[in-house]
A and B are shown apart, each in its own frame.
Chain A
Amino acid sequence: MRNVIEVTNISKKYKYGETKPYYTLRESILEFVSNPIKRIRGNSVLRKDEFWALKDVSFKVEEGQVLGVIGANGSGKSTLLKILSRITPPTKGEAKLLGRVASLLEVGTGFNQELTGRENIFLNGAILGMTQKEIKAKFDEIVDFSGVEKFLDTPVKRYSSGMYVRLAFAVAAHLNPEILLVDEVLAVGDNEFQKRSLNRMRQMVGEGRTVVFVSHNLNMVKAICNTGLFLLDGKNAMCGPVDKAISEYSKSNGVLPNFSNLTRVVSNASIDDNFKLINIRVYQGEKTLGPFYSDKSTYISIEFEVRKPIENLRLYIDVLDTAENLIFRSFNDMQSKSPSRYKPGRYLSTVEIFKDTFSPKDYIISVGVGIYNVRSFLRQNVRIPISVLWGGSLNIAYPNDTIRGLLSPNFTWITKDV
């Protein structure tokens, strides 16, 4: 396969603290007078109020490949997409794109409140790069997809926000470029519509189109993309198979707290010398701290030291969703496989959360230690955020994680003739 996107040493410099979106004339004159050296210096020199949003990023995308760009906030994902979309020029470097390019950095770009739904389809389509002929040919499909047929001749300012977004996505979903650059624009509308838009997205990807997809949603990236580009502080930290890129990203930061941080939290957690928390590990198989997959068991092991004998010591974990709702709590003495009286010494307590328990979602695991109704041994629970990815084969019936519950247990179903 030949490369249809070739990016070579792309760098982009920005200024810190540009809180105002524009300059006033006075400021520019002042700056010009007070800083003549700036005009002489070259591009690659960084002044102290500047930073590299992207630094020497190179990669290639083959025809038909779907590249997911992942990385923490501020790692340069959006800047990269803006450069490839020719909205902003790079400070250094070069990029080559072969084919008709369409970029989708938001849905509904250029929608005009005063115009009707019908008029906006033509306006938005043209802005996104469709010809009027193409739009006419796909008009019925677009209307159908959006489901706003009855309101086609109503100004969009009278639309509900849901209708507005559906119409906007519908136009975008009927773009037909050879290269598609997409920022996280899919997470729009209600659940039912999200499901449809994700399906549509997968369909567009399936047509052999080359796609660059920027997203925070690792599950979506995993579902759609076959290659991954992991950006770390504006640099290409890894580019390769999507699973590998995701796992590199998960290891590095953002998704999980780094180990040193957790160690510090753990060592400061104990209140007194009677009980000393030593270490907490969250792992699947060999891997410590992720990435975690829903089809593997997750282990949480708590290492601690008891200095004076303690009766009725209890360890527990709370599993919370990101909205802080308790999903379940589990105690270490639930199955009497742990002692109820602890002599001085070191202990390791491990809990297995069975495979097919988690949904592909973010969770917080909160570890607590105490004597029931008497006291806690920790100043506060040790909280570990984890991100679970959809494991196993992709289930086409449930392509979108939003339709799953907080947990996805794999219950047994048997259906028989009776």
Chain B
Amino acid sequence: MSRAVVIKAKPKWQLVNLRELFSFRELFYVFSWRDLKVRYKQTVLGAIWAILQPLFQTFIFTLFFGKIAMIPSGNLPYSLFVLIGLVFWGFFSNALTQSTNSLIENEGILKKVYFPRLILPLSKVVTTFVDFLISFILLIVVSFYLGYHPNPLVFFIVPIGVIITAVGASGAGLLLSAFNVKYRDVRHVLPFFIQMIIFLTPVIYPTTIMRPSFRSLMALNPMTGIIDATRVVFSGGTNVSWNILGISALSSLVIFFVGLYYFRSTERFFADIA
């Protein structure tokens, strides 16, 4: 007999059962694989959409904010400047939206089979990461096309940025997905919420136009440090503001653990209330 399962009204609580999570790793892959497969079924352009979306956005934003509103973009042309913002922002907002909806989308499975519930929202972050990779390739191409060669520091900054974004989006996604099971209001609020925070994130404008006191407040948004730092290295510079990046990293960790805590303390009742 390989293992014993003990079912109790109040089992010993632990923040995360890594061993169990590991034993369900295949299901994690399978869920990610399913989402990737399904995403672009019956579309003509398929995964090309992962390139077209940021491309269109870049075009529109460059036109309105760069050319008409004349928002400054530092050392970079506005198009490259905004594309960097959009690539990371797209990753964050897609990961957040999809993980938030992951539990109610899979309600049928939730009510019929046991598995660590964490798998669902987390696998969504992985699938949106694939889209991020595609759009990041676009970013590289555009950057070289416009004659900008990133500083080698890019090999450090971008992976760090990906981790911070993934951790922050997972945390917020865990919190909101658990909330969404109980309160379907979340589904209606989320689009507004995401629209709102894009303006609190330096996607279309540089942080330099902010008052310094407000800048440190903005650093609490994990995306601020990442986008800022990436822009610096893409313009060939090295003067990354490590303080702000550090605050972003810390704040994404805090979000992650808050989300994880709430998720883990409510997950047992998902099947009852979903």
Contacts and interface: CB of A to CB of B under 8 A. Distances in A.
Q: Are A and B bound to each other?
A: yes
Interface of A: 4, 14, 21-25, 28, 43, 82-101, 103, 105-106, 109-110, 112, 114-115, 119, 122-123, 126-129, 131-132, 155, 178
Contacts of B273: 21-23
A22 B110 CA distance: 14
A97 B5 contact: yes
Interface string B181-216: 111110000000000000000000000000000000
Contacts of A98: 1, 4-5
Interface string B254-274: 000000000000001101111
Contact of B27 (A82, A84, A86, A126): A126
B5 A101 contact: yes
Contact of B183 (A25, A90, A127, A178): A25
Given A4-B1, A22-B184, A100-B3, 13 more contacts: A83-B7, A87-B111, A88-B272, A92-B9, A96-B5, A97-B6, A106-B112, A109-B108, A109-B113, A110-B109, A115-B37, A132-B30, A178-B2
Interface string B6-37: 11110100000000000000110010001001
Nearest to B27: A126
B239 interface: no
A94 B34 contact: no
Contact of B182 (A23, A92, A126): A23
A103 B181 CA distance: 23
Interface in B103-118: 106, 108-115
B46 to A, nearest CB: 13
A178 B113 contact: no
B109 A97 contact: no
B10 to A, nearest CB: 8
B38 interface: yes
Interface in B28-77: 30, 34, 37-38, 41-42
A96 B3 CA distance: 11
A178 B114 contact: no
B141 to A, nearest CB: 31
Contacts of B268: 88-89
Given A123-B34, A127-B113, A178-B1, A89 B9 contact: yes
Contacts, number: 122
A84 B274 contact: no
A86 B26 contact: no
In order of increasing CB-CB distance, the 10 nearest A-B pairs are A86-B114, A126-B30, A95-B7, A97-B5, A105-B112, A110-B109, A109-B112, A114-B41, A25-B183, A99-B1
Contact of A22 (B109, B114, B183): B183
Contacts of B114: 85-87, 103
B38 A100 contact: no
A85 B6 CA distance: 11
Contact of A23 (B1, B30, B37, B183): B183
Contacts of B106: 110
A154 to B, nearest CB: 13
Contacts of A82: 271
Nearest to B8: A94
B31 to A, nearest CB: 8
Contacts of B6: 94-97
Contacts of B37: 114-115, 119
A87 B9 contact: no
Nearest to A2: B1
Given A85-B114, A99-B1, A112-B38, A90 B274 contact: no
A122 B6 CA distance: 28
Nearest to B109: A110
A115 B40 CA distance: 11
Given A28-B183, A89-B268, A109 B9 contact: no
Given A101-B5, A109-B113, A123 B30 contact: yes
29 contacts: A14-B272, A22-B273, A23-B183, A23-B273, A82-B271, A85-B113, A86-B114, A87-B111, A87-B112, A87-B114, A87-B271, A88-B268, A88-B269, A88-B272, A89-B8, A93-B9, A94-B6, A96-B4, A96-B7, A97-B4, A99-B4, A110-B113, A115-B34, A122-B30, A123-B30, A123-B34, A127-B27, A129-B113, A132-B30
A99 B6 CA distance: 11
Nearest to A23: B182
A383 B40 CA distance: 59
Interface string B216-252: 0000000000000000000000000000000000000
Interface string B113-131: 1110000000000000000
Nearest to B185: A25
Nearest to A99: B1
Q: Which of B2, B4, B34 has the most chain A CB within a 10 Å cutoff?
A: B34
A99 B26 CA distance: 20
B178 to A, nearest CB: 13
Given A24-B185, A94-B7, A115 B113 contact: no
B6 to A, nearest CB: 5
A122 B11 CA distance: 32
A105 B189 CA distance: 34
A404 to B, nearest CB: 32
A87 B5 CA distance: 13
B7 A89 contact: yes
B269 to A, nearest CB: 7
Contact of B38 (A85, A86, A114): A114
A181 to B, nearest CB: 10
B9 A43 contact: yes
Contact of A132 (B26, B183, B185): B26
A98 B255 CA distance: 37
B271 A110 contact: no
